Amino acid sequence: MTLTERQEYLEGGFAELSCRRCCALVRVRKSSPQQTSVQWTTAATSMCAAKLNALVPTCSDLRASIDDAVRAGKLEVS
C-alpha cells in the first residue's frame, strides 16, 4: 500500500458531524448501512455527555445523530 493509498484509507470519505446533544464534533464515515467509522478527537471525547471511558468510545446520542444525518441526506453511505 502506498502512502497515498494509506492516507485515503484513513481519511477518505469522512465527514464532520456534531452530536445533537453535546455538540462534540467527530469525523464519521458510513461504508455501509451496518458499518460506521468514527474518529474521535480529544476535544470531542471530553465534550461527550456520555463521559466516554471505553476502549472503543460509543455514545447513543451520537449514534442517533449519525442516523438522523443519513436519513436527511447529510451523510452519505458509500
Which residues, including other chains, have CB under 8 Å from residue 58's CB and lie 6 or more apart?
A: 50, 52
Are 31 and 78 in contact by the 8 Å Cβ rule? The answer is yes
Strand order of the β-sheet with 25-30 is 15-18, 25-30, 36-39
Looking at the DSSP assignment, which residues form a beta bridge with residue 7?
A: none
| pLDDT tens per residue across span 18-50 | 999 999 999 999 999 999 999 988 898 888 877
Q: How far apart are CA 43 and CA 74, in angstroms?
A: 23
| pLDDT tens per residue across span 47-71 | 887 766 666 667 889 999 999 999 9
